[in-house]
Amino acid sequence: MKINIYYGGRGLIEDPTLYVIGKLTEVFEELRVNVTRYNLFEEKNTIAMLPKTLKEADGIILATTVEWMGIGGYMWQFLDACWLYADKQKIEKLYMMPVVTASTYGEREAELTLIQAWEMLGGIPYSGLSAYVEDHVEFETNSAYTECIEKKAEAYYRVINKKIKMLPASNMVLRQNLLKSNTIVLTPQESEQLSMYVSDDTYVRKQKEDIEELTQLYKEMLERGENDGGEFIRNLKENFHPIEDFAAVYSIELTDVNKNLVIEIQDKHLKCYYGEKADADVIAKTTRAVMNKLVLGRTTFQGAFMSGELTAKGNFKTLRTFDQVFQFNVL
């Protein structure tokens, strides 16, 4: 059995949450459970990649400290990353126990927030530990509190080991009917790859520099009067590599110039024009600078999508085929 602990506090020595998860870890290890702890304050630059660590766990503990209000920014970032990048099928089978201590008001509300968030993600929440701690020394030396923590650890172990079923909650119905994402559904592998791009500061910085460079190039083109958009159509036709029995319609909105580029492919026939196509197989949005970067071979259609420079909805397989049909040479 493997349990992951995600600690969302600041790592202060007097933080009672550290004491609680320490006692929980001792009990789990006595029960021969493999425990791994992730300190979110140490992982703050790569939080977007942490959801992939859920794949190997049988249960997790979300532990945080209420210092003035709520569960804290690091824990919110981690939960946001789970919503965007985690394997939802894995989360559906994953137990979660919240641990919250507070030096001010709000420990029960924070515990409830973690439970509700995990339910919205589709996971299985288990009642956790929450406590108001005025004096951390008195709290840590109280044998009755220690016994309570140890019994909770044993109970959580039994829940995971026996895969005990939990009663359904209304949050699951809310998630199924109201919180439907309007983005393209990615595979777990694609979500993990996207989280790596988001966490790579060097990559993101390089992309911003490229965008700035292309933006300047685009401004110079506008000054020269080359703003009719015809160069994109010309480049598409010159770099068209047809695929047998492949038919698709792409609609690419260039948001900064208020134009819509439509690309219709039917076997070896290609038709490109500016207009509207509401029933396109892939409907994308980007800027003229990114489109120029695409036709110059400095990025790919899927690469622009994965980096967030281009948004799209529709048939994801057709989206990926764009880079096979159009192969641009680097200029």
Gap between the terminal Cα atoms of the chain: 53
Give residues with Cβ within 8 angstroms of 121, minimum separation 6. 79, 82, 83, 86, 88, 91
Contact between 82 and 90 under an 8 Å Cβ cutoff? The reply is no
Please state the pTM of the whole predicted model. Answer: 0.60
- Residue-by-residue pLDDT tens, the chain, 331 positions: 999 999 999 999 999 999 999 999 999 999 999 999 999 999 988 899 999 999 999 999 999 999 999 999 999 999 999 999 999 899 999 999 999 999 999 999 999 999 999 999 999 999 999 999 999 999 999 999 999 999 999 999 999 999 999 888 777 666 666 555 544 556 666 665 666 655 666 666 777 777 877 777 766 655 544 445 566 888 899 999 999 999 999 999 999 888 899 999 999 999 999 999 989 999 999 999 999 899 888 999 999 998 999 999 998 899 999 999 999 876 5
- Residue 310: the pLDDT is 94
What is the tens place of the pLDDT at every residue in 124-179? Answer: 999 999 999 999 999 999 999 999 999 999 999 999 999 999 888 777 666 666 55
Contact between 93 and 124 under an 8 Å Cβ cutoff? The reply is yes
d(CA 66, CA 131): 10
Contact between 264 and 249 under an 8 Å Cβ cutoff? The reply is yes
* Single-letter code of the amino acid located at 183: T
d(CA 91, CA 146): 30
262: left (phi over 0), alpha (psi -120 to 50) or beta: beta
Give residues with Cβ within 8 angstroms of 81, minimum separation 6. 47, 48, 49, 50, 51, 195
**Domains of the chain, CATH where assigned:** 2-183 (3.40.50.360), 200-325 (3.30.1050.10)
d(CA 234, CA 85): 37
